[in-house]
Amino acid sequence: MIKDELSNLFKLQEIEDRCELLKQTLKSHPDLKRLCKLKKDVSETQEQLQDKNKRIHFLENELRQAEQIIDKYYTTAKQAEERIYGGEVTTVKELKILEQKRNSAQLKVEEYEEKALEIMEELDYLQANLPKNEEMANKKKKEYNEKRLKTRREIDRIKNELTMIIKQKQQLETGISSELLDKYHRIRRFKRDPVALVSDGKCNGCMMDVSVMIALEVERHESLIYCENCGRILV
Ligand SMILES: [Zn+2]
């Protein structure tokens, strides 16, 4: 009877170790960390892309406005020019005013043409790089989705195993007296593996030699035998 109980207890210990390992794996799964990093990367890339699109939109607007201003000043300059050479101007004063108007309008045209050029250069650069940026963002998103699916599968697998072995554990516990279970849990508070095998005359828990008498008693399985050195239950 005690032999079966001890054998169940040893199995229980193995299951509890596996249980802890699985729980630990769930908590700090490397794939989860990688997934988290990848998610951050994806959202950063998306944000950058959005910023670029916003900038493109803004620049297109600016360009449109600059072109309107150029048109306006160009018309002003042209009208002034037509009047200057139209033969209608009679006084020097009027001529000077018109010339001034034409000149300042021409300056404005030049100023805004320069601005428009700068805008176009930046727009060209952004628009040329946009497909590459979009491709990169999509690639990262795809990679993230694939990884997420794979990780979820892996996590599900661990959870399933955990559910299964918790059931096994409960089943095993029914084959062990509550007294023995109590002892096991009491030792487990201080030692990771409260049950140790005796092999080659050594306690597998502390690796110290056990006395011949103890080794014989363990083999007889008539009562609970503890390691004289580490206090583990010997099986
Ligand atoms: Zn020991």
Q: What is the mean pLDDT of residues 50-62?
A: 97
What is the dihedral sign for C-alpha 159, 162, 167, 170? negative
54 vs 90 pLDDT, higher one: 54
170 CA → ligand 1 middle, Å: 27
Distance 200 CA to ligand 1 centre (A): 13
- Dihedral sign computed on CA atoms, order 217, 221, 223, 225: positive
Q: What is the pLDDT of residue 3?
A: 87
Stretch 184-204: mean pLDDT: 94
Tens of pLDDT, residue by residue over 1-40, are 688 999 999 999 999 999 999 999 988 888 888 899 999 9
- Residues 88-97: pLDDT tens digits? 888 999 999 9
pLDDT of the residue at 149:
95
Collapsed DSSP state (helix, strand, coil) of residue 221: coil
pLDDT for residue 221 is more than 90: no
Domains and CATH numbers, the chain: 27-175 (1.10.287.1700)
Place of tokens 């628009």: 127
229 CA → ligand 1 middle, Å: 5
Cα of 112 vs centre of ligand 1, distance in Å, is: 89
pLDDT above 70 coverage of the chain, percent: 100
Question: Residue 87's pLDDT is what?
Answer: 85
* Predicted local distance difference test score (pLDDT) of residue 44: 96
Mean pLDDT for 200-219 is 94
- What local confidence, expressed as pLDDT, does residue 28 receive? 86
User: Which residues have CB less than 5 Å away from ligand 1 (the ion)?
Assistant: 203, 205-206, 227, 229-230
Q: How far is the CA of 204 from the centre of ligand 1 (A)?
A: 7
To the question of pTM greater than 0.75 for the whole model, the response is no
Interior/surface letters 171-201, b for 16+ CB within 10 angstroms, e for the rest: ebeeebeeebbebbeebeeeeebbbbebeee
Question: 122-133: per-residue pLDDT in tens?
Answer: 999 999 999 999
Q: What pLDDT is recorded for position 31? A: 85
Rounded to the nearest angstrom, the distance between the alpha carbon of 227 and the centre of ligand 1 is 5
- Give me the chain's average pLDDT, please: 94
